[in-house]
Copies of this chain bind each other. A is one copy, B any other.
Amino acid sequence: MITKFTLHQKDLASSWYNIQADLPEPLHPVLHPQTGKPVCPDDLALLFPVELIKQEISTERWIEIPDEVQKVYRLWRPTALYRAYRLEKALDTPAKIFYKYEGSSPSGSHKPNTAVAQVYYNKKEGIKRIVTETGAGQWGSSLSFGGACFGVEIKVYMVAISYHQKPYRRIMMETWGGKCVPSPSPDTRVGRNILEKDPNSPGSLGIAISEAVEDAVSRDDTHYSLGSVLNHVLLHQTVIGLEAKKQMEIADAYPDIIVGCIGGGSNFAGLFLPFIKDKIDGKKPNLRIINVEPTSCPTVTRGLYAYDFGDQAGLTPLIKMYTLGHDFIPPPVHAGGLRYHGMAPIICHLHKLGLVEARAIPQIAAFDAGVIFARTEGIISAPETNHAIRVVIDEALKCKESGESKTILLAHSGHGHFDMAAYEAYLDGELSNYDYPEKKVIEALAHLPKVPVG
C-alpha cells in the first residue's frame, strides 16, 4: 500500500508549462490606465526584469528553467504526492483521494517556486535589491529565502498590524537575511504622508504595495516583485502540476476532479494547468477543476468580470479579471492568502470559458475539514488549504452516497505551523464565518475604474 509517491530528482521538470500556448482564446491584454491601450514591455521595465516581462506575454509552450533555479528547487523538489488512505477510511468513501503537498519547502508553501525564479532573473540583470509587500508574511519570507539563495538584498513592507501581531514570519525573513519594516513606514513618501495623519495606522496591503512600488521606481538598483496573480508567477508554479502528472501516472490514476484554494490563484493554477491541457485537447473532456474561495471574499463566485486595478491604491495597470472592486476590504478571516479582491487573469479567463468552476466555503466549515485532515493524515494545514480540503471531503461524501469511486486530487498549498492561533480560535469556538459582505461588495463594484477608449 503506497501512500507517498516520490520522484527521482532526474525527473524534476526542466521547463515550465505555459498555458498561453494552448488557450482556446488568448488572454485579454493588460491596459494602461491613462491611455486604455495595452501596456508595453517598456512600461514595466522599471519594476521587472526583461525576462519576466517576456514570460508574462509569451505564447511559447515550454520555457526552460535555468540551471541555477533548478539547483535551488532541488533543496526540496520534487515534492511528494500522497494517497490519503486514512482520510478515505475515516469518511468511509469509495473515492480515491490524492494530494500534492507543497508544505515541505523552506517557507512551508508553494511560494518559493516563483520567489527563487524571480530573484534569479533580477540578479542576472544586475539588480542588487528587490522590494515587495506582504500581509501575514508568507510571501515576504519566501522572497527573503530567494534573496539568500542568490545574494540579493530583500526589503519587505509588511502590513503594520501583522508585523506587530504576527512576529514569527518576520523573524523568518530576518533569519534568511531579509529586511522587514512595518507599513506604513517613514521610508517612503506614501508612508510618511499616512503616518503624519495617523501615527498608529494599522496599514493595509494596498498601502504596502504603494510603498514597495515607490521604493522600486526611486532606485536604479531595485526592482519590485509580486507573489501571485501575474502570468509569470503561475508559470513558475507549474512545476507542481508537471510533477503531479508523473506521480499520478506512477500511481496508475488520473483525477476526475482537481480541487484547490485560490487567493491570487498561483498555487492551484500551478497544479491544474498541466492537467487542463488534456481537457482543452479533448482527451479528458469530463475533468472537473474546482476553485475554492472563502464566502467572505467570493471573487469568482460573486464578483464581476471586468477591468480593475490589481491594488487598492490604483497604481497598477488595468487587469481583466473577476473582481470584488479594488477598494473592497475583505473580512479578517485567518486565510490571509485568500483575502484578495481580484484573481489571476488566467484563472478568470478559464472560468469565463467554462473550463473551470468555483465554489465558496465558510471559514468554520473549512476548519472542520482541516481538523479531520490533521487527525487522519497528520498534517496541520494552512487555513487557506482547509477551504479546499472541505470541498474534497464534500465530493468524497457525494461518492459515498452515489457509490462512485472518483479520483480526487487536492492542491495542498502548505502547512499551518504559523497559523496555530487560528486553530486555537476554532477549537475554542471563537471563529466567525462572517456573513457574505454584500453591501461592501456592491459599494466596491460601483468604484470600478472607467477604461479609457484605447
| Contacts from A to B (Cβ < 8 Å) | 1-4, 6-10, 71, 74-77, 82, 85-86, 104-106, 108, 112, 145, 148-149, 167-168, 171-172, 174-177, 371, 374-380, 417-418, 420-421, 423-424, 427
The answer to whether A74 touches B1 (Cβ under 8 A) is: yes
Assembly CA distance A376 to B176 (angstroms): 9
The answer to whether B172 touches A3 (Cβ under 8 A) is: no
Closest Cβ–Cβ distance, residue A382 to chain B (whole Å): 12
A417 partner residues in chain B, CB cutoff 8 A: 108, 168, 417-418
10 interchain pairs, CB-CB under 8 A: A2-B9, A2-B10, A6-B8, A76-B378, A148-B375, A167-B420, A167-B424, A171-B427, A175-B427, A176-B374
The answer to whether A172 touches B6 (Cβ under 8 A) is: no
The answer to whether B106 touches A175 (Cβ under 8 A) is: no
Closest Cβ–Cβ distance, residue A137 to chain B (whole Å): 11
Assembly CA distance A8 to B172 (angstroms): 32
A378 partner residues in chain B, CB cutoff 8 A: 75-76, 105-106, 112, 145, 149
Assembly CA distance A145 to B177 (angstroms): 34
- Select one of B3, B86, B106, B374 contacting A379, CB under 8 A: B106
The 3 closest A-B pairs by CB, nearest first: A106-B378, A417-B417, A168-B420
Closest Cβ–Cβ distance, residue A374 to chain B (whole Å): 5
A380 partner residues in chain B, CB cutoff 8 A: 106, 172, 175
The answer to whether A171 touches B420 (Cβ under 8 A) is: yes
Closest Cβ–Cβ distance, residue A430 to chain B (whole Å): 13
A379 partner residues in chain B, CB cutoff 8 A: 106
Assembly CA distance A367 to B444 (angstroms): 48
A250 to B, closest residue via Cβ: B8
Q: Which of A6, A7, A75 has the most CB of B within 10 A?
A: A75
Assembly CA distance A378 to B379 (angstroms): 21
A86 partner residues in chain B, CB cutoff 8 A: 75, 149
A3 partner residues in chain B, CB cutoff 8 A: 9, 71, 74-75
Closest Cβ–Cβ distance, residue A10 to chain B (whole Å): 8
The answer to whether B420 touches A4 (Cβ under 8 A) is: no
